[in-house]
Every structure is written in structure tokens, then in C-alpha cells.
Amino acid sequence: MTDAFPTPYLPDVAPLDPALEPALRARIDGKAKPPGSLGRIEDLAVQLGLIAYPAEPRVQDAALLVFAGDHGMTASGVSQYPSSVTAAMVATFLAGRASANAFAAATGARLRVIDAGVVADLPPHPGLIDAKVARGTADAAREPAMTPEQATTALTRGCAIARREIDAGADVVAIGEMGIGNTAAAALLAHRLAPAPLDDCIGPGAGQSDEGLKHKRAVLARAAARSDASAPLDVLAAFGGFEIAMMAGAVIGAAASRRPVVIDGFIAGAAALVAVRLTPAARDYCVFAHRSAERGHGRILAALGAAPLIDLGLRLGEGTGALLAVPLLRAAARLMTDVASLDDVLAGNLR
């Protein structure tokens, strides 16, 4: 049985106030260190300060939301793996044995798994949120992946899930995903919403061979030719996935609650692109964790004016890159709150 969610609705997001930035920057410059010596951590501290204002930034309780969904395009051969792997990986998350579980334990984050649209009927589990919109999307190479109503429902449910985590104490929300075929959907979203040439957005995903990648390109070219959608919600419905739509909603939900949201790699980046095209002010609240090795991610980052924090050649998904960035957010927040000012150091006022 699907958990209870509100009727389709997306909240307003208040943009951050740039007039506050000079004071925050001056405060950081006045810390007991040479100005600018902590590089982009200082920029991150300013962003966190703007989000938290007038309170102090705090990034202690971190929640990773892993959204899972299946894609009809898998039937057209865009992945070397069958859709059944999605459900198998959900079971692995719930057993605590996936890479994301290990990284969550290493970084002190809690992990929640969301059934956004897995083809299988998943048994109830304390760590699973049942938000299923449908049993996978339609094949976007042949027809719209979802109806506009389904897309709006998925956005709303993702938004509500993020806001519930924040109400439960989360200082920061990180988003990740699991869904066989979702690099194909993300490529189409990036192509249409960045916008960028389709070929520049397509990569090997979970490890396509040269022949498999050639076939994937052909399928995505057919999908792109099928629809001329350009408005964000239309593009999401034409090409997206339920897990991508829910991640986009989670971005908007976190931003509406004035919390930073950590964006993982290519798939989460495509979701952030959808969110920002729908609600431009949400961009202020996004922290881009890493630069994915998946080809299209650079196009998404460029479209959003984003500079990711780390570049480790990651392309797994699951929110693993987002989790690795969480300690950097914690350090940036503590730079603002815990480091003495140079004036206090010189005056000996260090109590």
C-alpha cells in the first residue's frame, strides 16, 4: 500500500539574499587564517550561511534519500542489465550491503530508500518508503514515459519526502538513485533542458560495450525525434523516470524548507536541472557533490553554472558521491561557527 501523500502541489522557494553575502564573506575573512586560504570551502561556508540566515549554519544530521524506479526504455535495449536488477539492488540497500550503505556509515548519514516506480511489488520494510506512482515508466522511445499527472504526482511525493526528513531533524538532504536505464532518461532530459546536443549527453551508463553504446544512441535518437517537448514538465513527462521526478521534487522541497540539498552525479544532476527549470530559486540551495565520469554530466553542470566539490571519477550513483561531500559541508559550517576570529586570537580571548 502506498504511503499517504498530499495532493499534487509544489511550494514556493525563496531565493537567497545576495545583500547578505558581503557581511558573511567579511566574517570568514576575519577568521584566524589568511583570507581565502581555505579556497572553495569558504565559498561553501558563505552559501550555507545564506541558507541558514539568520540562524548559524548547522550540518550535523544528514539524510540520503535513494529513489528507485524502472524505465520502459530498458525493453528497447538501452542497458546491458534487466530491470530486475533495480529490485535486487533495493533489497541490497535494505539489507545494508550496498556501496551507499557503507559510505553512509562512513560519513554518519542515515539512508532512506524510496520506491518511486519499481516494476516489482516490494515487500514492506521499515527502511522503505512506498511512494510508487506506477510499475515503471512507459518506453520513451515509443511513447511518453509518463503522463503529466504522473509526473506532477512524482514531483509532489519527492517534495513531501524531503520535507518530512527535514521535519524529523535533517540539517541537509542528499539525493541519490537506483534505476536500470536511467542514464538514458537523464541524457534525454539534459539534451532538452540544458540544452545540449544529444550525442554529448550519452555515455556508457553501467558499462555498455561499443556496440551497446551505438544501439543506445540510436534508441535515444528515436526517442528525441518522437517529441518536441521543451517546457520542463512536458520534457519530464516525455522522457523522465519516476525516481528522477521524485529527486527533482526533493530538491524543491529541501529548498522550500531552507536546507541545503547535495546533488550526486549525472542522474541526480538531471533531476536538479528539472527542479531548477521548474523553480529557478532552488538553484541557490544546491550543492553539487562531484563531477561524474558519465559524459553528459559536464553539460548539466555547465547549464546550472555549477562547480562540483570533488572529482574522483565516480559514476555509480546511489548517492555515493553526495555522501562523500557531506563532511565538506560539515567542515564549512564549522568554519563559520567554531573558528576564532583573528582579533580574538591576537587579544587572547579564546574562551
Single out the residue of 42, 32, 23 nearest to residue 344, CA to CA.
32
Please check the confidence at residue 137 and state whether its pLDDT lies above 90.
Answer: yes
Check residue 344 and give its pLDDT: 86
Mean pLDDT of 319-328: 98
Please check the confidence at residue 1 and state whether its pLDDT lies above 60.
Answer: no
Q: What percent of the chain has pLDDT over 70?
A: 99
- Of the candidate CATH numbers 3.10.20.30, 3.40.50.720, 1.10.1610.10, 1.10.8.60, the domain formed by 18-57+335-347 belongs to 1.10.1610.10
**Helix crossing, 148-167 with 242-256: angle to 10°?**
50
Name the catalytic one among 42, 165, 177, 318.
318
Check residue 204 and give its pLDDT: 75
Residue intervals of the chain classified under CATH 3.40.50.10210 are 62-328
Question: DSSP characters for 200-230?
Answer: GG---TTT--HHHHHHHHHHHHHHHHH----
- Of the candidate CATH numbers 1.20.1250.20, 2.60.40.10, 3.40.50.10210, 2.40.37.10, the domain formed by 62-328 belongs to 3.40.50.10210
Is residue 212 very low, low, confident or very high in pLDDT (cuts 50, 70, 90)?
A: confident
Please check the confidence at residue 207 and state whether its pLDDT lies above 70.
Answer: no
- Give the separation between CA 351 and CA 346, rounded to whole angstroms: 13
Residue intervals of the chain classified under CATH 1.10.1610.10 are 18-57+335-347
This prediction's pTM: 0.96
Mean pLDDT of 155-167: 97
Please check the confidence at residue 6 and state whether its pLDDT lies above 80.
Answer: no
Could you tell me which residue, 350 or 157, shows the higher pLDDT?
157
Residue 333: CB atoms within 10 Å: 23
- Give the separation between CA 213 and CA 228, rounded to whole angstroms: 24
- Please write the tens of the pLDDT for every residue from 42-76: 999 999 999 999 999 999 999 999 999 999 999 99
Please check the confidence at residue 271 and state whether its pLDDT lies above 90.
Answer: yes
Is residue 8 very low, low, confident or very high in pLDDT (cuts 50, 70, 90)?
A: confident
What separation, in Å, do the N-terminal and C-terminal C-alpha atoms of the chain show? 55
**For this structure, is 318 an active site residue?**
yes
